[in-house]
Chain A
């Protein structure tokens, strides 16, 4: 606490450092002296010990989401979980219907999986969120058809941090006897999940956003009423036949430990992070032409996605070389399109190009937040001095009336 670590890491929604306690538990599952056995080995103590460790981790993951440990299927991460849930449920129920509903602001792991299903003859409805990023339940209800078998809606959006009302969505899908898949990669430790209260049938999780390791995730698959999915990876029949492959004990133990800590420390941690996030926002919000993207209330504590009008996101990040953040700007990715999430909110392209995502986490300090405020203000000021759009804005020109030569 109280330290300024440069470069400052404010990209916790991209990934998190592994908690020391998690790393320690993982290291005990690797070497000859450690718990290195194959959890599937039934004939000796090495296998039994490894299986015990996996069982404990499974219980820790289940506990955080209010599930039974038997409902947890280990995967390589949330992307695989999304693929398994959506393809697995769509294929299994193909005889009942071939219509799926999802949201335009979903993660690519969901959107691209849906695109793949479209090429296989499924139909997908991509709902528009409201301007604050949230789903309108009546619009979702209106999109449901006779042949709809699956609704896939994310819990917490990775870019803008808004929290969908999964409870209300689950009540709707359950009453219509449609499966509900929830991508909850960003939720653990930040917002409570209860698969029973929320009527969730399938839920994707991963460890590396919760101070666990990369390369491990889980899919919750409801047992009562039983949800059946088609396996996507075939082999030795691990994980009740839904996902074959030798269990990676050290990764699983890491995920279990990170979820145990998240469950225990969630309340205090969120209160602390929210204060820091508010401090960051308070330090920036008096600047001219600054807009928060996404609902500020229905939002995880650590996320601040903000657009600095008339300043382009990538050049802003270039100025912030001592601060690690991400941008919804086009130039950060190989594509030249600005953030599809911000555009789905109805943000114009200019504001989408001008956005930065700050995500704070377990190791963020007040000093780091104060340093960030200072650096961001300096950079925005510098770039606005360089910006012809800022000049025009200051001269009272309405930029929407200018005829631009699009290129």
Chain B
């Protein structure tokens, strides 16, 4: 199978690999996929008080395209507000990485990871607001 240059670049030099403190109130964690299906993505975002994503980290178990998709997503979300990040569609990832049809599920998973991370941080903030009230 031939990979696009962009997939190879992200695979060989993955951006923003790592782990943020999942317990921090400024960090949203999204873990999607399943080992049995061959891919698991963990995307974490660190969000400032204005709702802007100031940092993002990932770790991914999966094929080259899954790793590249999650690496790309960490770059895409940085500097965006939560609403802007939530608007990212998987087809943007497909186009940017030139993913073949058989790998589209990797981009879907990356979109799911963003949604899951946003949901996590929103839930944390709502809970905090409730306890403050």
Contacts and interface: CB of A to CB of B under 8 A. Distances in A.
A353 to B, nearest CB: 4
B6 interface: no
A210 B60 CA distance: 40
Given A388-B41, A388-B42, A405 B33 contact: yes
A312 B33 contact: no
A331 B61 contact: no
Contacts of A318: 3, 11, 63-64
Given A315-B67, A350-B35, A404-B33, A387 B60 contact: yes
Given A312-B39, A349-B37, A407-B109, A388 B63 contact: no
A294 B89 CA distance: 43
A407 B34 contact: yes
A310 interface: yes
Interface string B1-44: 10100000001001001010000000000011111111111100
A399 B64 contact: no
B20 to A, nearest CB: 12
Q: DSSP class of A's interface residues: helix, strand, loop or mixed? A: helix
A349 B36 contact: yes
Interface stretch (A35-43, A47-55, A332-340): A332-340
B40 A391 contact: no
Contacts of B62: 312, 315
Nearest to A318: B64
B36 A314 contact: no
A348 interface: yes
Interface in A7-40: none
Contact of B63 (A314, A334, A385, A387): A314
A386 interface: yes
Contacts of B67: 315, 386
A406 B33 CA distance: 6
B102 interface: yes
B105 interface: yes
B33 A330 contact: no
Interface in A354-407: 385-391, 399, 404-407
Given A386-B67, A387-B60, A406 B34 contact: yes
Nearest to B60: A386
B122 interface: no
Interface in A295-354: 310-312, 314-315, 318, 329-332, 334, 336, 338, 348-350, 353
B59 A387 contact: yes
B38 A407 contact: no
Contacts, number: 89
A353 B59 contact: no
Given A315-B64, A387-B59, A404 B38 contact: no
Given A315-B64, A388-B41, A388-B42, A349 B105 contact: no
Q: Which of A315, A350, A385, A406 has the most CB of B within 10 A?
A: A315
B116 to A, nearest CB: 9
A332 B34 contact: no
Contact of B19 (A331, A334, A391, A406): A391
A311 B39 CA distance: 10
A321 B85 CA distance: 34
B36 A407 contact: no
Interface string B54-69: 0000011111101100
A385 B61 CA distance: 10
B38 A399 contact: no
B35 A399 contact: yes
Most chain B beta carbons < 10 A, residue from A310, A348, A350: A350
A405 B36 CA distance: 10
Contacts of A315: 11, 62-64, 66-67
Contacts of A386: 14, 17, 59-61, 67
A405 B38 CA distance: 12
Contacts of A390: 61
A312 B40 CA distance: 10
Determine which residue in A314, A350, A388, A391 has the highest number of CB atoms from chain B within 10 A of its CB, and name it: A388
Contacts of A399: 35
B82 to A, nearest CB: 21
B61 A311 contact: yes
A350 B17 contact: no
Given A315-B63, A386-B14, A406 B36 contact: yes
12 contacts: A310-B61, A312-B62, A315-B11, A315-B63, A331-B102, A350-B36, A353-B38, A404-B35, A407-B33, A407-B34, A407-B105, A407-B108
Interface of A: 310-312, 314-315, 318, 329-332, 334, 336, 338, 348-350, 353, 385-391, 399, 404-407
Interface of B: 1, 3, 11, 14, 17, 19, 31-42, 59-64, 66-67, 102, 105, 108-109, 112
